[in-house]
Chains A and B, each alone.
Chain A
């Protein structure tokens, strides 16, 4: 299982590099966003309106203000009333990183789908496979629930000299069995006996 993960991660890395190179240019990472009340509600006092005007432009942080963003666009309409209109506007300079967002979201989707697939595998196929193996060999005694990192101490029973490949597979299988036992133990504590995490 470990090797499988490694390959997946490797392939996935290539995929990511590929993705980040071809990133969509239509989404900028910087913006200056100004929100103003509607012109009529400022100029023409008799018509209070809740409409808002929204301006987004790509300017430098120092010019992200009324003069830099709004006046070039609305200069004619609010001529002479800048002093009234401008303080009502709310300008904010923001930046983000779409590449990171993209990579993270794709990683999240991948991880969730891998976990779901593995879960389905464990639910559906694993009982069938295990039945076969257990009929054949009949191994699998109880091993103590020890420290996770004590790999060196708990493998005397399973290191049969079966060649490197068999050994790796055995080790992986053994790790998986150990993990499954731990999860079963956790499940018993929480869902059956209710001794923890209630």
Chain B
């Protein structure tokens, strides 16, 4: 009895009250009719038995499962052991639900407002939220047979998840279309204007331009700024005017973006993916996914992309999609009021974000799965798939670029590659990994410097200075002057007749009847282009290091794609000329000897882009799928895979984290990475709070007054308190959250008569408590009677695993059945940091 106090009572109840525990429906009808109206003794014991069942099923303790067996044997005729076990677990989980029915009388009506919500910068308790949802769901299913209206409500509840992701997909597609069109128009505004129809960008302005001579895409409808001011087109004067206009517009856009962000929604700055990752792992940042963040991020994104800074709109698109997901989830209380369920919608929204950013629906789903999501059940996978599909479809119908695709740099390839080329592809992967590591290290150094030094106090000035520097350095080089997406498109595409850039200055012989464009000698133009590209690579690398992390909406995909594409194209041109000059060496295995072009520099650009992006973000599967969807060529999967893998290996060897994880670490977000392994031999007792010589702050189940609790709440800052039987026998009853306690006491003081400082707070059914003074305050409703408990000898490896896999917020540590202490997620994170020789105080939040 001393050793297993809880087990003792539960076995006896389970065997002595078979009627109570035989079927679930009995439980429910009892619960629904009179909340706590069962005889106090049995009721209490029954609930306690369910507590044991829950912990039993989770820690899979044999004794505990035995108890379950008692309860289930009466109504299951399990034929084989597996079936029986699964039924048992199932049943155990529904017992948890029953316990939670003690938490809330009915699914929908919460009599204390705000219960179940969380405060800003807190981690959520997945188990509790999922149990709440299960409870709500069961309530709806039960009510379904009552009336037609309830049936409709039930049906609405069932499809609301799909409806929500449908809406999210629709609006994400529209938002992406607006951003794409706005950004492409505003980007060209730096160069000139279309006087007849000011809303068209350069390409659209020259859309119907029907003159047969052709110089670099210029047409008479489009007026560059010197032309607007009646200057000639070429010469030193117009060049200076263009230069000035370019810089001035860039400065205007960047300053608008930075000040809008600062004024209306500071959370709109940055890429947002580290934060989304943290939020999806179960963290609350109020306002991070709000309406204003959505508006300002969209507008600011248009402005900052058009300012010509080295940033992209793809990462922020994920944030925008998640904002839309969050806003629409409030239409459906099932998701809006339950943080764990809301994260399912957010996962789907993240998929839609990538889907519209790259026109890659499957890549988006995989991105959500691989990179951002923490909890990703199959149901969410299907919803993400649907959401990504809808978003891609909407964006495709808007057709923002007039090329029938959702991205500017869509290219279509159908060229074979020869086996030997895998060697340069892997080389590209290695170089990509190196460039990515340089970028991550330098960017992190700069961001840390910004965080700790005086530089951080001048966010808008910083943006302006970087913009001016970027504009002034970029303009002279045509490859940095143009929009980064256009540059990527140029680098990805093949040299054909339609490509007039100096990059395609080959000595082609047009007279040959052979329709394939044959391999040709490079003219001086190509070499000039290569030098300009090398300069552009260095410049872009340096500027991106300073840009990423500034206080404007800025993403990272496009700059890293661009770095890789430049690198790849240079290598590709080198290979091509090698093949042209020495077509007969063994490595080309006779395939280049016929004069057709066996080497495609554009393909190298693509592989290089994948390599750098893979090195920066450490994506693999999703990256390859995104790249493959960008090119529509299945045959390039192997080169892309080789490059992505090589880049990931090199990146992992040189620096252990990807940029997003590094930024999570820099900001100290409470993110428990499921990729890392915990390899230390510490025990739960070493980590738990309180440490030696400190007191554990607990509540007793029926002997504390309101004043006692108030002082406890004032004196401590813990976010929850364990409830024990009494000070003398410290057996655990349950766990109550600080916020719930505060709300419940405030609510009781407002609503109930006669509650004073001397009222007892009672967490039991309380019928046997004899009170003489003021009426007691019954708070059984807010008590979590199924907290996850472990013993003090549990290895931390297991504890960390439990935190990751179950999404716990805290766990209670017991010894011999008595409560010893608490381990919170923050304790775990700090412990991990400490063992990794990092500063544990960098974990900032609760």
A84 & B511 in contact (Cβ 8 Å cutoff): yes
A67-120 at interface with B (beta carbon < 8 Å)? 83-84, 87-90, 94-98, 100-102, 104-108, 111-112, 115-116, 119
Q: A101-B204, A108-B178 are in contact. Are A90 and B287 (CB under 8 A)?
A: no
Q: Are B182 and A94 in contact (CB under 8 A)?
A: no
| B693 close to A (CB within 8 Å) | no
Q: A132 on the interface (CB 8 Å rule)?
A: no
The verdict on A148 contacting B286 (CB below 8 Å), with A116-B256, A198-B447 known, is yes
Contacts of B452 on A, CB cut-off 8 Å? 194
Q: A195 vs B296: C-alpha distance in the bound complex, in angstroms? A: 21
- CB neighbours of B330 from chain A (8 A): 149
B295 contacts the other chain (Cβ, under 8 Å)? Answer: yes
Is B214's CB under 8 angstroms from A115's CB?
no
Select the stretch in B161-169, B264-272, B350-358, B611-619 that faces chain A: B264-272
- The interface-forming segment of A8-16, A34-42, A159-167 is A34-42
| Closest CB in chain B relative to A175 CB, distance in Å | 12
Interface contact A98-B303, CB-CB below 8 Å = no
Chain B CB within 10 A, most for which of A26, A146, A153, A190: A190
Distance of A76 from chain B, by nearest CB (Å): 14
Contact A56–B402 (Cβ < 8 Å)? no
Q: Does A17 contact B (CB under 8 A)?
A: no
User: For the complex, is A158 an interface residue (Cβ under 8 Å from B)?
Assistant: no
Task: Contact check, A52 vs B178: say whether CB atoms are below 8 A apart.
Answer: no
Shortest Cβ distance from B496 into A: residue: A90
Please measure, in the bound complex, the distance between the C-alpha atom of A19 and the C-alpha atom of B324, giving whole angstroms.
Answer: 28
Contact with B along A133-176 (1 / 0, CB 8 A): 00000000000011111101100000000000000000000000
> In the complex, what residue of chain B is closest to A93 when comparing beta carbons?
B404
A195 touches B204 (CB 8 A): no
Chain A residues whose CB sits within 8 angstroms of the CB of B196 once the complex forms: 24, 26
CA distance A18 to B510 in the complex (A): 51
Contact between chains at A108 and B299 (CB < 8 Å): yes
Q: Which of chain B's residues 161-181 have a Cβ closer than 8 Å to chain A?
A: 177-178, 181
Cα A194 to Cα B269 with chains together (Å): 13
Inter-subunit contact A90/B402 (CB<8 Å): no
Chain A residues in 8 Å Cβ range of B120: 145
Do residues A122 and B263 form an inter-chain contact, with CB atoms below 8 A?
yes
* C-alpha gap A97/B401 in the complex (Å): 10
- Considering only residues 260-294 of chain B, those with a C-beta below 8 Å from chain A are 260, 262-267, 269-270, 275, 285-287, 290-292
Q: Is B212 an interface residue (CB 8 A)?
A: yes
Among B264, B296, B513, B667, the residue within 8 A (CB) of A84 is B513
The proximity string for B residues 204-226 relative to A, scoring 1 for CB distances below 8 Å and 0 otherwise, is 10011111111000000000000
Would you give the 0/1 interface string for B381-420, flagging 1 where the beta carbon is closer than 8 Å to chain A? 0000000000000000011001110000000000000000
| B200 within 8 Å of A (CB atoms) | yes
Whether B212 pairs with A55 at a CB distance below 8 angstroms is: yes
State whether B666 touches A27 (Cβ < 8 A).
no
Least CB distance, B123 to chain A, in whole angstroms: 15
Among B207, B275, B295, chain A packs the most CB atoms within 10 A around the CB of B207
Which bucket holds chain A's interface residue count? 35 or more
CB distance from B103 to the nearest CB of A (A): 20
- Is B655's CB within 8 Å of the partner chain A? no
B459 at the interface (CB under 8 A from A): yes
User: Is B182 a contact of A108 with CB atoms below 8 Å?
Assistant: yes
Contact of B667 among A27, A108, A115, A196 (CB under 8 A): A196
A87 to B285 CA separation, bound complex (whole angstroms): 59
Taking CB atoms and an 8 Å cut-off, the chain A residues in 21-69 that contact chain B are: 24, 26-28, 31, 35-37, 41-42, 45, 48, 50-57
Residues of A within 8 A of B459 (CB): 191
CB atoms of B402 and A194 under 8 A apart = no
User: Considering the chains assembled together, what is the distance between the CA atoms of A154 and B403 in angstroms?
Assistant: 50
User: Is B200's CB under 8 angstroms from A52's CB?
Assistant: no
- In-complex Cβ contact of B256 among A112, A187, A189 (8 A): A112
In the complex, the answer to whether A35 meets B498 with C-beta atoms within 8 Å is yes
Q: Which of A83, A88, A119, A196 has the most CB of B within 10 A?
A: A196
Which residues of chain B from 495 to 512 have any CB-CB distance to chain A below 8 Å in the complex? Answer: 496-498, 500, 505, 507-511
Within 8 A of A (CB), among B45-75: none
CB atoms of B212 and A186 under 8 A apart: no
A148 touches B287 (CB 8 A): yes
Distance between B796 CB and nearest chain A CB, rounded to angstroms:
27
Whether A187 pairs with B497 at a CB distance below 8 angstroms is no
CA–CA, A31 and B496, complex, Å: 20
B534-577 to A contact mask, C-beta < 8 Å, 1/0: 00000000000000010100000000000000000000000000
B199 within 8 A of A: yes
Which one of B181, B197, B263 contacts A119 once the chains associate, using CB atoms below 8 Å? B263
Q: Is the CB of B551 within 8 A of A190?
A: yes
Instruction: List 5 extra interface pairs beyond A111-B295, A182-B287, CB under 8 A.
Output: A31-B208, A87-B513, A89-B497, A102-B197, A191-B266
Q: 3 shortest A-B CB distances, which residue pairs?
A: A96-B402, A105-B199, A87-B515
- In the assembled complex, 12 residue pairs joining A and B whose CB atoms fall closer than 8 Å, in A order, are A37-B497, A51-B214, A53-B212, A56-B209, A94-B403, A101-B199, A119-B259, A122-B263, A123-B263, A190-B267, A191-B551, A197-B266
A-side residues, CB < 8 A to B, are 24, 26-28, 31, 35-37, 41-42, 45, 48, 50-57, 83-84, 87-90, 94-98, 100-102, 104-108, 111-112, 115-116, 119, 122-123, 145-150, 152-153, 179, 182-183, 186-187, 189-191, 194-198
Give B contacts to A, CB under 8 Å. Answer: 113-114, 117, 120, 177-178, 181-182, 185-186, 196-200, 204, 207-214, 256, 259-260, 262-267, 269-270, 275, 285-287, 290-292, 295-296, 299, 302-303, 330, 336, 398-399, 402-404, 447-448, 450-452, 456-457, 459, 496-498, 500, 505, 507-511, 513, 515, 549, 551, 663, 666-668, 844
